[in-house]
Structure 1
Amino acid sequence: MFGMRPVASAAPDPGSTSFLGISAWLWPMILGGIGLFAAFQAYYWIGHRLGPKIYASRLGRKIPEDKILKVEAAVRKWGALAVYACFWVPGVRHTLPWVAGVLRISYPWYVVASALGCLTWVPVTYLGLYAVIWGWLELAAQSPLLAVLAALVVLAVVAGFVRRRRRRAAARRDSEKLTTP
């Protein structure tokens, strides 16, 4: 059949299920981003409503005062830019928004910064985790023993990191006790 072109198949690809034209594997990322954005708005308004009383609450007592003061200083200095940056710092991500509410930073700028944070942090985290999980599953399919060893190495590194941080914190507390009269 000289000169004839192949006709595209009308059958859908079974691996490309979608809803509203968006691939199914993207929906957890989209919903996670929306959920995180909603949580950031709730944190802001809780801090805004309760004000400094939040520091005496059960949530506020879980976070050392020196850490709250550092977060307050960052919010006072950087404003909405601190809100965006907090997405990339574990532990600060869920502390800074209610401190921003207590300090009553500009809400329109807060919304912009938290939206940009969600739009950048969520895809990086989701796709990075997706790549790691699928990479590990591929390794497990090829060699279950190597997959177990890789998981054990990762767990050992995380445990070592946590242990090191705890030792440093304990040493810091001990040195503060010695220097405090």
Structure 2
Amino acid sequence: MRLLAAAVPDPTSPAVLIPFLLGMVGLFAAFQVYYWVGHKLGPKIYASRLGRRIGDEKILRAERFVARWGALSVYACFWVPGVRHTLPWVAGVLKISYPKYVAASALGCLTWCPVTYFGLYSVIWGWLALAGRSPAAAGAAAAVAVAAAALLVRRRRAALRAEKTAGPERTADPAGAGSTAGAGSAAAQGSASPGEHG
């Protein structure tokens, strides 16, 4: 196990830092592509294969979040699994201020990437150090982590099933507050007044 720990490169070495920096730049570039795809296609993107795969409920949630928080929602989406690659193109559809979008996405890349990357590295190093001292304790820690991950996945799947089951009831809502048929309505309003969302 000590040999394995020694084989893991130093997180500050060029062999690690260069791919990390390239990945961070790539993520920033992807966010700009997402924005302009949403900006150019507008609400039509909701009927695309991407929009159908994501689903009306997630799109509506993203619309509400962007409409309320503007560019701040772009920064926040980095920290929310499952939203990081959905909300940016919704922000483009709603035509929030692009300079603010660029600033928020840059800040997100500069904070989320190091925290997650080096945080994960720290966990790996810590686990290897524990395994060097006590393989049994390291095995127990790994088992607990796997069990916790499995529990989170089960809860997430149960929540998604509950949303799908409740979907028809929301669609039948006469007020239309939770109707999945309304996907893109906020986008249409946003596109009618570009730059209104900050």
Q: Same fold (TM over 0.5)?
A: yes
Equivalent in 84, 97, 102 of residue 106 of structure 1: 97
* Letter paired with 1:126: Y
Structure with the greater relative contact order (CA < 8 A, sep ≥ 6): 1 or 2? 2
DSSP-derived class of the 2:79 partner: coil
Match of 1:85 in 2: 76
Cα offset, 1:165, TM superposition: 2.6
Alpha carbons of structure 1 residues 55 and 174: separation in structure 2 relative to 1, 3 Å: closer
Q: Which moved more, 1:137-146 or 1:38-47?
A: 137-146
Match of 1:138 in 2: 129
Cα offset, 1:42, TM superposition: 1.1
Match of 2:107 in 1: 116
Cα offset, 1:178, TM superposition: 7.1
Rg comparison, structure with higher value? 1
Alpha carbons of structure 1 residues 159 and 43: separation in structure 2 relative to 1, 3 Å: same
Alpha carbons of structure 1 residues 107 and 176: separation in structure 2 relative to 1, 3 Å: closer
Alpha carbons of structure 1 residues 131 and 178: separation in structure 2 relative to 1, 3 Å: same
List alignment gaps of at least 5 residues for structure 2. Answer: 1-8, 174-198
Cα offset, 1:100, TM superposition: 0.9
Match of 1:68 in 2: 59
Residue correspondence of structure 1 range 3-42 to structure 2 within 5 A? 23-24=13-14, 25-42=16-33
Q: Aligned pair count?
A: 162
Equivalent in 56, 65, 69 of residue 47 of structure 2: 56
DSSP-derived class of the 2:96 partner: coil
Equivalent in 96, 99, 111 of residue 87 of structure 2: 96
Match of 1:125 in 2: 116
